[in-house]
Every structure is written in C-alpha cells, then in structure tokens.
Amino acid sequence: MRIIAMPEDPDQTEPLRNPSSGFVAYVPVGSLARGEALVTTGGERTVACDICHGAMLKGAGTVPAIAGRSPSYLARQMHDMKAGTCRGPGSALMTPVVEQRTNDDLVAIKRVRLVADAVVRAAGSAVD
C-alpha cells in the first residue's frame, strides 16, 4: 500500500514554485476509515494520538503538532522512528508506538488532514 501525492495545480507547482500551491494525496481504498480509527482510539495496540499530541493534534508542550502535516512528512518520520534511525528528542516517546504498527497501519494514519479531521469529528468541533 502506498500514498501518491500530486500537485493541485501543476502550473503553480512547476515552473512557478508557488509555496501556496497545495497537494492532494491519493490513498488506498478503506485507509481513511481505518486511519481514523487508529488515530482516535489507538487501535487496541497503543494510545490515541491526541493523548500525546494534544487537542486537535496541534502539539502539547515539547510534543510536536501533527495536524495538517503532509503524508510524506508523516511517513518519513514514522518509518525512521520504527527503523531506529530517527533520534530526535521526542523519538524515544514515539518509538514504542510505531513499533506496534504494521506498514498498512502507517499508510492508514498518514492521510493529509485525516489526523486533524478525525480528532475534530470525535470532539464535535470545527477545524480552524
């Protein structure tokens, strides 16, 4: 399973390199519902993301925000933590979480805005 990210407007992305040009992530069928369940409940193997990453996943103390991050960023960070090659200050807290995840779990979690949207739906609030 994989995620394919494409520019919303290729002309703005290349050759103009507009930093405001967005991307759309295409994900495997069923990964959105599965990712929402993993994000909001932990999926029986670990804790929900908001326990550490804070309300609306906007960060809590030294734990970084993950809401709105690109799927490639989340993929790279979680893969590196699982492989033991990410040794940042917060990776020690996250390593036991990602070690419990399969690659399919990680794909399901990495959907753009899914992380924020799942918590918002669970909390019954609106995304700002």
pLDDT tens for 13-60 read 888 888 888 777 777 777 777 888 888 888 888 888 889 999 888 899
Q: Which residue has the higher pLDDT, 51 or 123?
A: 51
Closest CA to 105 of 80, 83, 78, 81: 78
Are the C-beta atoms of 25 and 8 separated by less than 8 Å? no
- Give 64's contacts (C-beta < 8 A, 6+ positions apart): 53, 90
Rounded to whole angstroms, how far apart are CA atoms 70 and 58?
14
Per-residue pLDDT at 127 exceeds 70: no
How does residue 90 score in pLDDT terms, banded at 50, 70 and 90? confident
Helix (H, G, I), strand (E, B) or coil at 106: helix
Percent of the chain with pLDDT over 70: 84
The pTM (predicted TM-score) of the whole model is 0.68
Q: What residue ranges define each of the domains in the chain, with the CATH number in brackets?
A: 4-123 (1.10.760.10)
pLDDT (0 to 100) of residue 111: 59
